[in-house]
Chains A and B, each alone.
Chain A
Amino acid sequence: MSAIVQMHRLNKSYGAFHVLKDIDLQIQSGEVVVIIGASGSGKSTLIRCVNGLEHFGAGQLVVDGIELAPSEDGFGTSRKELAGIRKEVGMVFQHFNLFPHKTVLENVMLAPVRVRKWPRARAEATARKLLERVGLRDHIDKYPSQLSGGQQQRVAIARSLAMEPRLMLFDEPTSALDPEMVGEVLEVMRELARSGMTMIIVTHEMGFAREVADRIIYMDDGKVLEQGQPAAIFDHPVHERTRTFLSRVLTH
């Protein structure tokens, strides 16, 4: 089985607040998994554990064959090991987090040059290709502050793709966007899914989830309450709480 992410009895607490409770999860290579749930259910924390931005207290987590160590203080896994994981796992943030002091092109080129040690020419060629793919060829020499939110997020996606990752994490990628810009970002993500990229997406965009996901995971109060095919989850949810959540969200 080519499971790119394996979680077994994953637990995390912020002091007294137990935010992840005994999570068991396997993500296959090539799968598109969408995680839905209310705020505070632990969805963001979960995917941030996958690339080591959050450390977990107990349990087992293996990403791309590398095991992360549980720890209370963040000293569990060394920076080098984490870098090994992060080379293959890309992340797109809710607030884009582009580097404001670099141009769009430099933003996309920076990581391949500094982390994968590519020659600048190769990194630049890849960057230009990716920016063309996401539809931003004319904005290559602009600074992030000169772009709209939707454009910035597309640059962010290109930036992560430049590292040629095996897995992409999306933490509510469209939640900070004005409604008219959500579509352009979802389109990019749709194409990415179609090309066979393994993706874990946390989102509130239910229509998109239904269309693109191979599997939907519903999280509630730190636990994986239900998971299954989109049709199953959206049309025939089993648990009461899933039904309540969906009814609240889908009326929009």
Chain B
Amino acid sequence: MSQFKLSSTESRPFGSTPVPASGAPLRLRSGARARAAAIQTLILAVIVAAVLAFVGLIWAGLQRHGIGFSLDFLDQPAGFNISEGLTVAQGPHGLTLVPFNSQQTYAQALLAGLYNTLVVTLISIVLATVLGVLVGVGRMSRNWVVKNWAWAFVELIRNTPLLIQIIFWYFAVLLQMPGLADASLLHGALIASRQGVFFAWPAATAAASHYAWFVGLAVAVSALGVLVGTPRRRRVAFVASAAILALGLAFTGWPFSIEMPEASSFSVSGGAGFSPEMASLIIALGVNFAAYVAEVVRGALQSIDKGQWEAAAALGLGHRESLWVVVLPQAVRVIVPSLGNLYVTIAKSTSFAIAIGFPDMFSVYGTVGNQTGRALEGILIVMVVYLLISLSISAIVNLYNRRVMKKGAR
């Protein structure tokens, strides 16, 4: 009764392939493996050949244009100035950080650019993270106005180019600030002018070198406490170091004093500050990536099981407390890996600084490349440095991620 008689089941002779003679199976066996190994080697050879061919073509091209390839330019004097940034130079006691001047080498110029890149990256990362967490939390707020402001902020930033935001902050904000004379805010603690943003900053006093001894002692005691290990002893060690620090103050006086920025008509002395270029770059990057951090935070908060909120509420915690004490710490484990990617992107995005004349590494390279004609060598150096920066950031974040994962292992 079955109609499943398939066309060829009966009429086919046994075995679509005759069983090979006894010797053959062994050959078949090594055949497949040998073939795989052969393909593997072939692929490797093709890749290596392609790379070599590419490099060869470039070399030929360099010769043809009479350029050649050499890194000698790195030792030659730069002959141009960089408006800000520190570079490494030989001082009386070894290597020190000094401001760049035009007698220094091209290599030192690039180092000054690197310094600027790193400073901007670091501060932007901090700004973006703090602001981003606040905005991300704001997206979850029950207050309609706050929630929608946060939403508008994120949408506005993510849908428009970073470059236009950088230009906006520079031309439309920083350069529109008042001149030095009228720019004082907060009783002189902050000067926000179009020549830059300056603020009060601690500066070492005469007592600092004496106080350093107390600091050293306190650090040693804390380190001892950490190494020994038990939480109780650690706490004791920390309390002891705090006591040492307090005692030191009594002996030597304050090791630092708050220095206010003093503005004359053309410049500012005292305190610390950012040029308008650096300030606008930091603000632009910080604000821009805050939006992306906010999205990561929001996604992570939403991924936390609703039960956590309910349990916190049942314990009597208010909405804000539940968020900061119960839910957000759990969300950190989800957030950290994505943050690593964002931080690397921040580091890379500093290269847009060339658009507003901030001397970051890429911008300095631009000048160096133009003056020496060594564009190819320069860009290769710059790319390698960016690669190292990205790998370092990823490595650090991975380390932190591993610690976070271990703590809350599920």
Complex-state Cα separation, A78 to B27, whole angstroms: 12
Residues A166 and B9 in contact, CB atoms below 8 Å apart = yes
The answer, among B5, B6, B9, B17, for a CB contact under 8 Å with A64, is: B17
On chain A, the residues within 8 Å of B35 by CB distance are 78
A147 to chain B, nearest CB (A): 21
Residues A65 and B3 in contact, CB atoms below 8 Å apart = no
B1, B5, B9, B35: residue with the most chain A Cβ atoms closer than 10 Å: B9
B160 at the interface (CB under 8 A from A): no
The answer, among B15, B19, B29, for a CB contact under 8 Å with A69, is: B29
A62, A166, A194: residue with the most chain B Cβ atoms closer than 10 Å: A166
A85 to chain B, nearest CB (A): 9
The answer, among B2, B3, B5, B33, for a CB contact under 8 Å with A76, is: B33
Could you mark each residue 53-80 of chain A with 1 if its beta carbon is under 8 Å from any beta carbon of chain B, else 0?
Answer: 0000000001011110101000111100
The answer, among A75, A81, A88, A161, for a CB contact under 8 Å with B16, is: A88
On chain B, the residues within 8 Å of A77 by CB distance are 28, 32
B25 at the interface (CB under 8 A from A): yes
B162 to chain A, nearest CB (A): 36
B8 at the interface (CB under 8 A from A): yes
**Contact-residue size bin, chain B (C-beta under 8 Å from the other chain):** 20 to 34
Complex-state Cα separation, A76 to B10, whole angstroms: 32
On chain A, the residues within 8 Å of B6 by CB distance are 161, 164, 195, 197
B12 at the interface (CB under 8 A from A): yes
Residues B28 and A81 in contact, CB atoms below 8 Å apart = yes
Residues B19 and A76 in contact, CB atoms below 8 Å apart = no
A-B pair count, CB < 8 Å, reads 71
If the complex has contacts A166-B9, A196-B10, A197-B6, are A65 and B32 also in contact, measured as CB distance less than 8 A?
A: no
On chain A, the residues within 8 Å of B29 by CB distance are 69, 76
Residues B2 and A194 in contact, CB atoms below 8 Å apart = yes
Q: Give B1-45 interface residues, CB cut-off 8 Å to A.
A: 1-10, 12, 14-20, 25, 28-29, 31-33, 35-36
The answer, among A71, A192, A194, for a CB contact under 8 Å with B33, is: A71
If the complex has contacts A75-B32, A77-B32, A78-B35, are A65 and B5 also in contact, measured as CB distance less than 8 A?
A: no
B38 to chain A, nearest CB (A): 12
Residues B32 and A133 in contact, CB atoms below 8 Å apart = no
Q: Give B347-402 interface residues, CB cut-off 8 Å to A.
A: none
Residues B9 and A197 in contact, CB atoms below 8 Å apart = yes
Complex-state Cα separation, A64 to B18, whole angstroms: 9
Residues A195 and B4 in contact, CB atoms below 8 Å apart = yes
Residues A164 and B25 in contact, CB atoms below 8 Å apart = no
B8 to chain A, nearest CB (A): 6
A39 at the interface (CB under 8 A from B): no
Complex-state Cα separation, A21 to B93, whole angstroms: 73
Complex-state Cα separation, A71 to B28, whole angstroms: 13
A50 to chain B, nearest CB (A): 15
B31: nearest chain-A partner, CB-CB: A78
On chain A, the residues within 8 Å of B15 by CB distance are 64-65
Residues A78 and B32 in contact, CB atoms below 8 Å apart = yes
Could you mark each residue 14-29 of chain A with 1 if its beta carbon is under 8 Å from any beta carbon of chain B, else 0?
Answer: 0000000000000001
Complex-state Cα separation, A29 to B12, whole angstroms: 11
B6: nearest chain-A partner, CB-CB: A164
Residues B18 and A65 in contact, CB atoms below 8 Å apart = yes
Complex-state Cα separation, A196 to B14, whole angstroms: 15
Residues B5 and A81 in contact, CB atoms below 8 Å apart = no
On chain A, the residues within 8 Å of B9 by CB distance are 164, 166, 195-197
> Which 8 pairs, one residue from A and one from B, show the smallest C-beta to C-beta distance?
A65-B15, A195-B4, A78-B32, A69-B29, A195-B2, A194-B2, A2-B14, A75-B36
Residues of chain B touching chain A, judged by Cβ–Cβ distance below 8 Å, are: 1-10, 12, 14-20, 25, 28-29, 31-33, 35-36
A-B contact pairs, 7 of them (CB 8 A): A65-B18, A67-B19, A69-B25, A75-B32, A75-B33, A192-B2, A197-B6
